[in-house]
A and B are shown apart, each in its own frame.
Chain A
Amino acid sequence: MANNKTNNKSGVNIGKMLMQSWSRYSYVFVLLIILIVYAVTINAGGNNFNSRHITGILSSQNTVIVGTIAIGMALVIITGQIDLSVGSALVLCTGVTILVYNMTNGNVFLMILTALAAGLLCGLINGLLVGLAKMPPFIVTLGTMLIYRSLTLSFVREIDPAYTGSSSSQFSMLSDMASYDFLRMKFGTGSLKIGNIQLPYITFLFVALTIFFIFMMSKTKFGKSIYAVGSNEKTSHLTGISVQWVKVSVFVITGLLVGVASFIQACKIGNVTPASSGTSYEMYAIAAVVLGGVNMAGGRGKILGVFFGALSYTTINLIIVSIPQLSTDIQDTFQGIVLIAVIFIQTVGPVIREKFVELRKRAQNTDK
């Protein structure tokens, strides 16, 4: 009898622990489930799921470029705002970065500086309009989304192809520069081999950024103020936090990350097409953030989650690509369905759990 009781108790505890870790690390479980589906589809196609596929996930531009932007997007969303301009800003920044690279004879230092400065400027414009002028972020960044892209589109046609590096309305890195091989072949597309697994260099950059922002959000006072503003703006104000500057700063940080992403884009892809590159990246970044368990209402979310969210998002894409019967046109449909399903679990899950708790309480009461 006594044994029975303890068994019962430990069973409840394991269930509780699972429940807790699910709600705390749901983004890890989401990735695991998606990875399993990916492995199953690869095997069903007659291939073996192996480390090459993992490398593929880690080096995909959906991981490193969208993921880098998604970190910034997460900060913006945690403060309860949104930034729709990141895709366009990426195109603008990459264009300017490649232009400077081509014009300065392949000066890597100036190239990086340009990428960061252009990103910072794009973010600062959003930030000042939203934070200081107190305009709604949705509208402001919708506006700058249109502006940034159309600016890039219009000036790519005006500039001498000798500088843009291409005659087809595109910015392309000139391959005859001294630093080209290092940037493109080594850093942009190369990888480090550890045992059997190839780890792309750019992935290390993404991991380093993730670690830095995990530290910033959980171990610094600035990070806490970002959460505070998103959770309760009024209290934050009454606690002396400068709410408007926190809002400006998350947009500026997002801009800087877009700058980093544009440097990655230049090194990895080598070119950018203003008419088509980076379209819908803002939506992909938001998807990664949501898959990472960040609350769209603000105040809650982890950067580690965004890291996993970016990987999940990439994997979903790869699953669809790996099924030959599916055309790439249907890709967005599946992405949309998975996204809605994940959010559905996030929002409806707690409601169902509450109902269960209530039912159990009622049952206990009637027992008495």
Chain B
Amino acid sequence: MNNILEMRNITKAFGGVQALTNVHLEVAEGEIHALMGENGAGKSTLMNILTGVVPMDAGKIVFDKKTYVHPTIRQMEAAGIAFVHQEINVINDLMVYENIFLNREIQNKWHVLEKKRMIRETEELFERLGVKIDPMQMVSELKTSEKQLLEICRSLHANAKLLILDEPTTALSNEEISHLFGILKKMKQEGTSFIFISHKMPEIFEIADRYTVFRNGWFVSSGPISETTPQKMTTDMIGVEYAEKDVYHPRKLGDIVLRLNRLSGHGFSDVDLEVRKGEIVAFTGLAGCGASELMQTMFGVLPIENGFVEVAGKKINGRIYQFMRNRVAMLPSNRKENSVIPDMTILENMQIAEHRLSRKKPVIFRREEEKKYEELKEMLHIKAEDPDAPINSLSGGNQQKVFLAKWLNTDADVLLFDNPTQGVDVGAKAEIYQLILEFAEEGKTVLINTLEIPEIKKVSDRCVVFYEGRVAKVFEHEEIDEKTVMMYSTNAVKAAGGNKNGK
């Protein structure tokens, strides 16, 4: 089979950080090629290079027998490469056929749109692919899965020869996934090639023909999917374990302070969990596995649909303020959007949550606040000079410490940390985890939601793995092992089991 795409010796650095080093990728005509790797492995950088969004430092791309060294977005689009992003990119206020023909509308010689012809062509396209959508429907009325199909059809209609699908199944149900896969197979037979990015092992083994694995910006392995196993692929992705100084040591835990009873909400269901005073519990799983939503529900951000949350023997149901009064705190993910108040100073950002709890005393006393600030600054090793400097004058890691301080300042006993090391450098990361251990030592109960399994291994007493909104497995500290956790969070366990049954 001929290769439609060859990417050779691609190298790319952002500032001083090496994102890709000498990687290869080959995709044959009419195949579905799985591109695998952990977050930060370099997949999206490579795809951005391929689509001309990011220029490469070295290497070359051969696509459809033409060589590109400095590709532009327009060139690659014209050559027939289409990127279907994870966030669906269709226009809700237009009809289906209008989306298909967006920017490529058919006009007659008077520059009037030929509506009938466009609708007919859309119908033909859908029939060929087995897509059951009415071309005249408003896109806003479509289901998520239909929007996804629409986007794929649009790329195909634009004569795309290679489609990049970035985690196309995260928003789809199992039934919708198999429908999508049916269509992909049909398109494959017509000669279209796919680069398929997904973290879900069972899917990869169902749909892909070949695979390529990256780790930390390096090429690791490649080959036909039939010659590998989910276990081997997981090892390729995370690498052979490296030894590290273990800072963890078992602590004496207190009584149960937090209880989830058959808790259900947006994106997760039937979660039972009991956490003791002073315990550190980690949540992990793929993006969209429901762990972040669970954490938000435990803080009143999202509503409880069923079951209950009990803190210190008291059922809590209500808004964020209720949870705060019962000494729960949550450090949300996505710091810039959910934590930073950009127009405020470091001191103000640190005090704002405590203000809410002490609003019965409405006046602010500067001297008291400064004292508190100095204490917290010392305790968390925050590198800041002036409490009145803007929050954005600090580095990411220091900002995150200010927000840790903001919640410690509320005297919370249960601390929920949603992806606390997102966007902070390696040094600050280690410091934050060291702090988490110190909090637990002082009797705080800490829950962390993170994708970084080595970090979990360092700090947590237990690790709860989520898959599609349900608890897939709970590990004790000794049992936490990157490979096993990864297998459960990608449901590779099931895929491996399925393979065995098949044989």
Contacts and interface: CB of A to CB of B under 8 A. Distances in A.
B338 to A, nearest CB: 5
Contact of B364 (A219, A230, A235, A238): A219
Interface string B315-348: 0000111001000001010000111111110001
A228 B344 contact: yes
B301 interface: yes
A242 B359 CA distance: 12
A220 B362 contact: yes
A367 B332 CA distance: 45
Contacts of A235: 337-341
A224 B363 contact: no
Interface stretch (B13-21, B350-358, B441-449): B350-358
Contact of A222 (B324, B337, B362, B406): B362
B405 to A, nearest CB: 13
A241 B324 CA distance: 11
Contact of B344 (A220, A227, A234): A227
Contacts of B348: 224, 227
A300 B341 CA distance: 11
B342 A232 contact: yes
A231 B342 contact: yes
Contact of A240 (B337, B340, B356): B356
A187 B368 CA distance: 42
A365 interface: no
Interface residues of A, number: 23
A299 B343 contact: yes
Contacts of A239: 320, 352-353, 356, 406
A242 B355 contact: no
Contacts of B337: 232, 234-235
B355 A224 contact: yes
A221 B342 contact: no
Contact of A232 (B301, B341, B358, B406): B341
Contact of B341 (A219, A220, A236, A295): A236
Given A228-B352, A239-B353, A240-B321, A221 B362 contact: yes
A227 B348 CA distance: 10
A157 interface: no
A299 B342 contact: yes
A335 interface: no
Interface of B: 301, 319-321, 324, 330, 332, 337-344, 348, 351-353, 355-359, 361-364, 406
Interface of A: 219-222, 224-225, 227-228, 230-232, 234-242, 295, 299-300
The 8 A-B residue pairs with the shortest CB-CB distance, nearest first, are A299-B343, A221-B355, A231-B343, A240-B321, A240-B356, A240-B320, A240-B324, A231-B341
24 contacts: A220-B364, A221-B362, A225-B352, A227-B344, A228-B341, A228-B344, A228-B352, A231-B341, A231-B342, A231-B344, A232-B337, A232-B340, A235-B338, A235-B341, A237-B320, A238-B332, A240-B319, A240-B324, A240-B357, A241-B352, A241-B356, A242-B319, A242-B321, A299-B343
